[in-house]
Chain A
Amino acid sequence: MDDTQTPARLAGVTKRYGAITALHGIDVALHAGETLALLGPNGAGKTTAIRSLLGIITPDEGTATLFGRDPRVAKNRARVGAMLQVAGVPATLTVAEHVRLFSSYYPHPLPLDETLRIAGLRGLAKRLYGQLSGGQKQRVAFALAICGDPDALVLDEPTSALDVESRHALWDQIRGYVARGRSVLLTTHDLAEADAIAGRIVVLFGGRVIAQGTAAEIKGRAGRATVRCTSGLDDERLRAVRGVGSIARDGGTIRIATQVPDAVVRALYVLDPTFTLLDVSQTPLEEAFLALTRTTASEEVPA
């Protein structure tokens, strides 16, 4: 397979920090023209994955490539724009000065006005970075990522510090970028965000890829709600019920992850006369990831 067409790829990447293994041999590829979300809770290894891809850190095993090349060489990063989670952007340069400097790193940058327009920074060109609001600062980070007109964007938690309005504005900017035929890899800990902008989701948990698929598939498996109940049905028959995601048993109590709790409960009342509903709750994020872990583990059991 011609890897020079693949904007970003991690192949069998393992990274250890002392006794902690941040990534356990993960394989992730960003394909041309797609928006891929790396979804996972804090500490899942998302940032380590991004930093490996950008050549900031060197994997202990496996390889990271950008368009088939070693990202640790500066010129091999010229087709990629990056947005990282950082605090310390120099405060005494203006927005235009920052953008012009980063534009100079790329062979064919966008015109300054075009970058400022895409990033929603028109009218702020002469403002010192230190005088910007939080949302405006994030837009500068986005502007620095796109100013070189790169073929691929790599965004580490691009909306984590933003209010709802700024978050939606940034989503629109990312969608606009993809509409130009570019590829985007972003990390997020928010399933709703991944669902809103990504065509494909890779779920990282504990440094491993535990699930991947379209947003709809991942949502279905992670479940929006947890139905706690008792039932005489076995796992196989429960799983046959439309809308049932992962199943976990704790003594006599069964926990079912689902997108459609009402439909599942209705179906179970019909199927199982011994069915007792205990409660239905919104699945907390951590638990949704755990649900995915369980699904993965059960899939690994040979049939």
Chain B
Amino acid sequence: MIARITFAETRSELTKLVRLPAYVIPTLAFPLAFYAFFAIVMGGSRGIAGTTVATYMLATYGAFGVVGCALFGFGVSVAVERGQGWLLVKRASPMPPVAYVVAKVLTSMVFAAAVVVLLCALGAAAGGVRLEPLTWLTLFGALVLGAIPFCALGLAIGSLAGPNSAPAIVNLVYLPMSFLSGLWIPIEALPPAVGHVAPFLPTYHLGQLALGTLSAGHGSPAAHVAALAVWAVAGAAAAAYGLRRDEGRTYG
């Protein structure tokens, strides 16, 4: 029963977002455009960390794209549905709450997978990226599963922020965090101070985890997974707090 509802919920969530240009265009087009410009036009076949810039940036812009899908797909949509009362209608229905959350995670992962596949296709076609089949797969898997902790962070923002402020808050978190984690410009090329700040950001760990699949990352994959898990738990806890706090509000 729950599995069936989760499936219906996911399909409906995907349909809803696909018809929303304000979601689809930024989440898909921005990572692709940035990758095309920074990695292919500017970087090309130059070398970095034992690989080409186009290959290296497939991991970092992949991470950038995945994080965007999760933060916007989750954070903004929950904030809007919560703030405008739609979440109340869902909560008054017999829908199991877990179906709502899992459906949004799955939807974010579907969009994340689409971003990664498009980036890989662009990299292979125009950036001269050549990888072993298994490497393609581990890179894809690391990035798409990496959406999960950012879904938790998106849920936290969506549960705490108002419907109008949520998009701005997501951008304020998303863009600086991505830059400081070396997702736009390789961290090796940024001032050393950034390298000290980056390990405190979840985006850094996803970027390094993805780079690790290309043998171009720092640190152990297990440590990055652990750091992301801590962020996921913190996000879920903040979301639980926000949703419980809502109960005390009447919203008219």
Contacts and interface: CB of A to CB of B under 8 A. Distances in A.
A75 B16 contact: no
A148 B16 contact: no
B134 interface: no
B250 A88 contact: no
A88 B81 contact: yes
Nearest to B12: A101
Nearest to B17: A92
Contacts of B89: 82, 84, 86, 89, 141, 144
B19 A84 contact: no
Interface residues on B, range: 20 to 34
B12 A77 contact: no
A102 interface: yes
Interface stretch (B36-44, B92-100, B199-207): B92-100
Question: Residue among B16, B91, B94 with the most chain A CB within 10 A?
Answer: B94
Contacts of A85: 85, 252
A41 to B, nearest CB: 14
Interface stretch (B1-9, B27-35, B186-194): B1-9
Contacts of B83: 88
A74 B247 CA distance: 16
A76 B96 CA distance: 10
Contacts, number: 91
Interface in B108-166: 163
Contacts of B84: 86-88
A187 to B, nearest CB: 14
Nearest to B81: A88
Interface in B59-93: 80-81, 83-86, 88-89, 91-93
Contact of A105 (B86, B95, B248, B249): B95
A18 B249 CA distance: 10
A24 interface: no
Given A17-B248, A57-B247, A84-B85, A93 B12 contact: yes
A251 interface: no
B20 interface: yes
A70 interface: no
A88 B86 contact: yes
Given A47-B250, A84-B85, A86-B85, A104 B5 contact: yes
Interface in A19-33: 22
B94 A78 contact: yes
Interface string A227-254: 0000000000000000000000000000
Nearest to B5: A104
B159 to A, nearest CB: 15
Nearest to B82: A88
B91 A56 contact: yes
B16 A55 contact: no
Interface string B48-68: 000000000000000000000
Contact of A92 (B5, B20, B247): B20
Contacts of B163: 88
A100 interface: yes
Given A92-B19, A97-B12, A101-B8, A86 B88 contact: yes
Contacts of A86: 84-86, 88-89
B85 A148 contact: no
B96 A74 contact: yes
B137 to A, nearest CB: 33
A64 to B, nearest CB: 12
A210 interface: no
B94 A55 contact: no
Interface in A94-125: 97, 100-102, 104-107
Contacts of A51: 88, 92
A74 B98 CA distance: 10
Question: Residue among B88, B96, B248 with the most chain A CB within 10 A?
Answer: B88
Contact of A97 (B15, B80, B95): B15
Interface in B213-252: 247-250, 252
A84 B88 contact: yes
29 contacts: A48-B250, A51-B88, A54-B91, A54-B92, A55-B92, A57-B247, A74-B94, A74-B96, A74-B97, A75-B94, A76-B94, A82-B93, A84-B88, A84-B89, A86-B84, A87-B84, A88-B80, A88-B84, A88-B85, A90-B81, A92-B20, A93-B16, A97-B12, A97-B15, A101-B8, A104-B4, A105-B5, A105-B95, A107-B1
> Nearest 9 A-B pairs (CB), nearest first?
A88-B84, A86-B85, A92-B19, A104-B8, A82-B92, A78-B94, A54-B92, A77-B94, A101-B12
